[in-house]
Structure 1
Amino acid sequence: MAVNKSNMKGRVTVYSVLGCPHSTQAKDTLRNLGLPVCIVDINKHRDLQTQVKGLTGHSSVPQIFFNNVYVGNNEDLQNLDHDQLEHLMLLVREEPVPPDAPPVPHENSPDPEDELGKASDISEAMRKLILKLYSHHLSKDGKTVDYKAMCQSPYYERYCELAVQLQRVELLSLSHEEKLAFFINIYNALVIHGNLRLGFPKTFWQRYRFFNYVSYLIGGEVFTLQDIENGVLRGNRKGVAQLLKPFSKNDPRLQVALSDVEPLIHFALNCGAKGCPPIKTYTPQNIVNQLHVAAEAFLENDDGCIIDDVRREVKLSQIFKWYKADFGGTDEKLLNWVFDHMEPSQKKWSLKALLTAGNVKVSYLPYDWSINSTD
């Protein structure tokens, strides 16, 4: 049901925020219909937030209008039947934007997701493109990937082209927050890219080679998956089955490494296995809060943490065993870290009771190394 934009007098207004997968899906749907879409980032134009909430009764995004007709959010858009959609498209095609249409910025601001940016903006451009891929080929819970469909996507082809431009990124100019978001996003995308190109590693030695071989040229230096995780994000610490630190004292990549390990990264990095945390994209803004939310969600799930009150035992993901040093190095410090990063819930109160009484056993859950594919 393609429509010629040149024949249209009105517009579709979409209030969104950068990085929202539901907003991305809504925008793609509207553009595939050939509709003229005006994107308004309400984080960028905060003066409009109150007005939009007053019009819709909602502060969530996206919020969608056909001329002055309020449709709702992305789910509402996707659930429109054929006749409803035809009526709305006819409205936009034949009626100019009325005076009571929802407000838009005075300046014609381009959609941030359409801007590819300059060399210094490549990391953000990559994130936006990754987001498009995820919105089409990632399950709603972020745990599985449709690899077969992804490799045929035009977004994947564009991603491969843009990945070559990573060599132009000025890594030393990145702030701490920018570095966290950039390398987490790149790590997760590189794992998927490696799986599509080389196949999923199934044995220990295949995984070892995969994570020490699959790499991008970033800022003029080669970074493997091991380099990104253990060299940059863990502050240059030895990884699992590694005898040496990733970066030597004279390695120029050492300048990029975080000054210390950030334990929260372990709930954002996804190695392509079902036992990993869900895949998401992260932004520099409020990155630590985003990682805290990811940690809370992981610990609330039984794949991450189980409290056995009867046996006075806490069963944790193998992630806590492999990187125990990042969480304090002892069972006591590990359990305190887990407690501090749980969301308020019955599980947290159960753990508190065990910790108060003392003599708590720590064990580790089996890890599911099978591929996180939808197949």
Structure 2
Amino acid sequence: MGKSISEFEDEMSVTGRITLFSKSGCPDSKAVRSFLRTKHLPFVEINLDLFPQRGLDLEERTGTSSVPQLFFNDELVGGMEELNLLQQNGELDEKIQKVKENPCPESAPGLPVHSEEESENAVPDEFAEVVQKLREKVQLKDRFLKLRLYSKCFLGSDAVEVFAEDQYCEKDEAVEFGRKVAAKHFFHHVAHENLFEDGNNLYRFFEHDPAIATKCLNFFGATNDLEPKPAADVAKKLMTLILATYDRYISDDGKHVNYYAIATSEEFRRYVKLTEELHRIDLTTLTREEKLSFFLNIHNAMVIHSFILYGRPNGALERRTYFAEIQYVIGGYAYSLSAIQNGILRANQRPPYTLTKIFGAKDPRLQVGLEKPEPLIHFALSYGTQGSPAIRCYSPEGIDAELRIAARDFFDSGGITIDSEARTMSLSKIMKWYSSDFGKNEREVLHWIAKHINPTKAEHLLSLLEDSNVRVNYFPFDWSPNI
């Protein structure tokens, strides 16, 4: 078990400034970061993936763009090799004492600046102007459809008139134009019965959908009307920010999260801003590997985001509500934590102890989900608890190998225990809740586990399975927070 974040943050007082130039996912940067934590030394981190132009400053100071590079005030210390050498020579304590006592001079590397490196050319969506006209001209009313009341709706016929006037076209052409606008997720049919049609069909603007307006953590009162970027590009940018956040604020073993530090960090500020770009992206363009990594990363980041905003749920009832109601709007639709896990990553399987599937037969999110369940996702999804798997950032290029590693690590760190004398195996409750993803019966589940644990333990497990009297227990899930 690694150290808790509270231990990491029990830092000594330093008058000067320790600055670490790093990159996300860099093993050497991680080693220096861990070294500073063990010494309880506070430091400023300049991640060149977030602040690429600071690489020029680094090169001017060091003659190289390689990381990590550590500074004590304006003095270059270097990387892990140099730190180890200073410690071996007995010089490190003296340098630490010096930075503790001496204020930081102006010649030291500057602090990273908020909004630095963020400027991008924002391009309005091609339909933004006509959608604004639509918002201004159609009559929004609460209307009934099949005995159900829908708030703030407009009629397809009213929209057709606006489109025909704007495009100087006939009604048939206006309907075709309206379908193109609807396909960009500016509005949807209230019951998802069609893309866009004339007549008394009811439609609602994205921002007036109650699920989006009141429950989505990444919706801030208005739709992002900029031209959506390719979903894979947005996913990559989010992955960079998430990885930088995890490197800096989550323990090396992935089991302890410093929520307070994340909440006040530049990484989190940028992450929240970037989630607005999810509003209208086209998720259907993603490959299986891109969907897996994207939704795993988003799920775990949503948990952190929600804990920062609302705290953690207490008790079974609050947890059930939490997984259903904590949502992001992605590609025009609201996705809860449960929708991501059970609807997308488990190919629309029923959640534990429920009778219905997440997505109904007409739900447009069905086309986004995986074609078949991926069992390994259960060793990558975090619920913000001690019983959850370690938190990691996943990449589309290596997702399958990364998931196999996550599964082995989960079982090696207590996900399964074997008592040979008692002829008993104890498993995480995760294996019971989602047993159907691993096999048709308990023995099939155990054979599945044997393929995903270290060979010695697998041999032991398989030998026990030869005994028909072997017993399987499930230890209580630890819902305490991963702080």
TM-score, normalized by length of structure 2? 0.58
1:337 aligns with 2:448: yes
In 2, Cα distance between equivalents of 1:13 and 1:149: 19
In the TM superposition, 1:2-81 aligns within 5 A as 19-20=25-26, 23=29, 31=46, 36-37=57-58, 71-72=79-80
The percentage of aligned residue pairs carrying the same residue is 38
Letter in 2 for 1:163: T
Matched residue, 1:348: 458
Structure 1's 344 and 233: CA in aligned 2 closer, same or farther, altered over 3 A? same
Aligned length: 314
The aligned residue for residue 137 of structure 1 is 249
Counterpart residue identity of residue 464, structure 2:
L
Which residue, out of 471, 474, 481, partners 1:361?
A: 471
313-322 vs 27-36, greater mean Cα deviation: 27-36
SS at match of 1:161: helix
> Could you tell me how far 1:19 is from its partner in structure 2?
3.4
**1:13 and 1:224 mapped to 2: Cα distance?**
36
Residue 360 of structure 2 aligns to a residue in which SS? coil
**Structure 1 residues 188 and 115 mapped into 2: Cα distance closer, same or farther (>3 Å)?**
same
Q: What is the match of residue 323 of structure 1?
A: 434
SS where residue 237 of structure 1 aligns? coil
For 1:331 and 1:275, the matched residues in 2 are separated by 21
Does structure 2 conserve the Cα–Cα contact (< 8 Å) formed by 1:115 and 1:125? no
Q: d(CA) in 2 for partners of 1:248 and 1:182? A: 23
Deviation at 1:72, TM superposition (A): 4.2
Distance 1:30 1:148, change over 3 A: closer
Amino acid of the structure 1 residue aligned with 2:332: G
User: Contact 1:270 / 1:277 at 8 angstroms: preserved in 2?
Assistant: yes
1:215-256, Cα deviation, whole Å (9 max, x unpaired) = 001011110001000000001000123321111121110001
Q: Contact (CA 8 Å) 1:23, 1:74: kept in 2 or not?
A: no
Change (3 A) 1:198 1:29: closer
Partner Cα distance (2:479, 2:329) in 1: 27
Distance 1:72 1:24, change over 3 A: closer
In structure 2, how many angstroms separate the alpha carbons of the residues matched to 1:145 and 1:74?
Answer: 29
Q: Distance in 1 between matches of 2:31 and 2:80?
A: 14
Could you report, residue by residue, the CA deviation over 1:147-187 in whole angstroms, capped at 9, with x for unpaired residues? 12221112212211111211143211111001000000000
> What is the 5 A alignment of 1:151-162?
151-162=263-274
For the structure 1 residues 73 and 219, does the alpha-carbon distance in structure 2 shift closer, same or farther, using more than 3 Å as the test?
Answer: farther
2:408 maps to 296
Gaps of 5+ in 2: 1-15, 34-42, 49-53, 60-65, 72-76, 100-106, 108-116, 121-227
CA 1:333 to 1:225, structure 2 compared with 1: closer, same or farther past 3 Å? same
Give the letter for the 2:443 counterpart: E
CA distance in 2, matches of 1:371, 1:362: 27
CA contact (8 A) 2:21 2:67 kept: no
Instruction: Name the residue aligned to 2:425.
Output: 314
Q: AA paired with 1:148?
A: Y
Worse-superposed segment, 151-160 or 24-33 = 24-33
Letter in 2 for 1:343: N
Go from structure 1 to structure 2 and tell me whether the alpha carbon gap of 1:65 and 1:153 turns closer, same or farther (over 3 Å shift): closer
Identify if the C-alpha distance between structure 1 residues 309 and 133 changes in structure 2 by more than 3 Å, giving closer, same or farther.
same
Bigger relative contact order, structure 1 or 2, given CA contacts below 8 A and separation 6+?
Answer: 1
Write the letter of the residue equivalent to 2:453: M
Tell me by how many angstroms 1:20 deviates.
Answer: 3.8
Q: Contact between 1:168 and 1:220, CA under 8 Å: does it hold in 2? A: yes
Cα deviation digits, residues 272-327 of structure 1 (max 9, x gap): 1110001000001121110000100111122x100010111111000000000001
For residues 77 and 135 of structure 1, the distance between their equivalents in structure 2, rounded to whole angstroms, comes to 24
State the shift of 1:78 in Å.
11
- Please give the secondary structure, in 2, of the residue aligned with 1:301: helix
CA-CA distance at 1:73 after TM superposition: 6.1
